[in-house]
Amino acid sequence: MIDILDRVRNKELRSKIVSAEEAAAYIKPGMNVATSGFTPSGYVKAVPTALAKRMEKEPFKINLWTGASTGAEEDGALAKVNGIAKRMPYQTNKELRNRVNSGDVDYIDMHLSESAQFARYGYMGGSVDVAIVEACAITEEGNIIPTTSMGNTASFVQQADVVIVEVNVTQPLELEGMHDVYVPLDPPHRLPIPIVKPNDRIGTPYIPCNPEKIKFIVPCDIKDHTRPLGEIDDNSKHMSHFITDLLNNEIKEGRMPANLLPLQSGVGNVANAVIHGFVESDLKDLSVYTEVIQDGMLDLIDAGKLSFASGTALSPSPEGLDRFYRNIKEYRKHLVLRPEEISNSPEVARRIGVIAMNTAIECDIYGNVNSTHIMGTKMMNGIGGSGDFARNAYLTIFCTGSTAKDGKISSIVPFCSHIDHTEHDVDVIVTEQGLADLRGLSPRKRAKQIIEHCAHPDFKPMLLDYFERADSATKHAQTPHLLNEALSWHQKFVETGSMK
């Protein structure tokens, strides 16, 4: 209790400290509940756990808006009791994914940079009824010091009439000062976002909050349950080498400085492994302007190769989080966390010339990319920030293993079963087989590059055969397709369990 009192520095606010159950009782069916959290970092834990218990006894649903995915105590617990009616803007939790794919949850999968603005304009169905946010501390003025993520928290607090703050006593106080909070005005009043390099600071180190809005303060001692990352396998190492070779060539050609342009790297195992691969390269004095900071970034800082990283969330593995906490004094010199409207801002990404490296589920022979849907129908996670960066980066790279599910699926297909990033947004595709540089190529030339360099040998002849027959049947049309066959590979997998 002493720790929580120390962390609530505004003495008057201390009278608002209540149990999670008491705060959860405030939430009514159908409310728009907007929370902190971006990946399983900085999400709220005590109140949703209590809310889920209440829903178990008296079933009802809320609409849940967050920064991105959250952890088991939030998305997992609420999905388990079928307590979510509408969810935006991203998720990765298995229970929730099942609810999304069985029609129980209306899932609005959207560009993360736009999600706060969408909520502010009321497109999500009304405004924020209650914001629940995790804090490290509350200042004497009532301002909120966030924890391991920024996400959409600042905008949600700004919009909400009622704020519930979960003060998490497990989050180190050294996080204070690591945030740069700036919520843009909406058009037509918006001003240029004055970031020209990743370490520019433009806002406050806290979320401004009128203390009168704070209705309850809930002590919480549950740690972030971050997701383990997969082992860095040979395939990822190959992809990382192909990318570093490409970037070294860009330097040689005089198109990038010796320390490159700011790197952006996506979520998941492959993205993390690719970034880790930079540790073994000769590159140094790198900078990062990205969304999530995973273990690979910490590796780069430890190796003395990364000067500065700007993101919206720390999303390390559980071991990575321990490593971050142990060396927080050193890491915080190199890191800043911003609202996702800023970390993922198309304006900033285009201005500073980000190198965007994200992972695809599948790519087609013309360079379209599917990041979200398995066999064109089932939601995996969501588009996240991949579209924010892909369209606006200086150089847009997508990685994927050339096959999935023990080689039964080709991740290079005739036509993507769902398209998140169009051929116009994709510069480079990389698999463990090789790299296809699509810049300046027409679709028919791209197809040859992608099949030649990226397809797995088991599927290469089938892809070439498709392309040649389509090319001939359409008399060399701009983008040759056999419409009755374009999705036949997916159909075959659905029927037989293999694309072969």
Q: Could you list the residues that contact ligand COA (CB under 6 A)?
A: 230, 266-271, 291, 358-359, 361-362, 371, 374, 380-381, 383-386, 401, 404-405, 409, 411
What is the arrangement of strands in the sheet containing 362-364, beginning at the earlier edge strand?
A: 369-370, 362-364, 412-413
Q: Nearer Cβ to ligand COA, position 281 or 411?
A: 411
Q: Could you tell me the smallest distance in angstroms from the CB atom of residue 358 to ligand COA?
A: 4
Q: Could you tell me the smallest distance in angstroms from the CB atom of residue 205 to ligand COA?
A: 24
- C-alpha angle with apex 299: 295 to 302, nearest 5 degrees? 135
The answer to whether residue 319 is catalytic is no
Instruction: Tell me which long-range contacts 293-299 makes (C-beta under 8 A, separation of at least 24).
Output: 293/335, 294/229, 294/265, 294/267, 294/320, 295/229, 295/319, 295/320, 295/323, 296/265, 296/271, 296/272, 297/265, 298/323, 298/324, 298/331, 299/275
Q: Nearer Cβ to ligand COA, position 23 or 293?
A: 293
Burial grade of 234 (CB within 10 A; 0-12, 13-18, 19 or more): exposed
Q: Nearer Cβ to ligand COA, position 73 or 388?
A: 388
Structural contact between residues 69 and 40, judged by C-beta atoms closer than 8 angstroms: yes
Q: Could you tell me the smallest distance in angstroms from the CB atom of residue 269 to ligand COA?
A: 4
CA distance 244 to 276: 11
Q: Nearer Cβ to ligand COA, position 142 or 384?
A: 384
**Residue 120 corresponds to which tokens in the numbers above?**
């502010």
Characterize the bridge pairing of strands 263-265 and 355-359. parallel
Q: Nearer Cβ to ligand COA, position 266 or 320?
A: 266
Q: Counting every residue, how long is the chain?
A: 500
Closest CA to 168 of 62, 20, 378: 20
CA distance 154 to 145: 10
Q: Which residue has the closest beta carbon to ligand COA?
A: 268
Q: Could you tell me the smallest distance in angstroms from the CB atom of residue 442 to ligand COA?
A: 25
Q: Could you tell me the smallest distance in angstroms from the CB atom of residue 399 to ligand COA?
A: 8
Catalytic residue among 291, 340, 362, 423: 291
Tell me the catalytic residues. 291
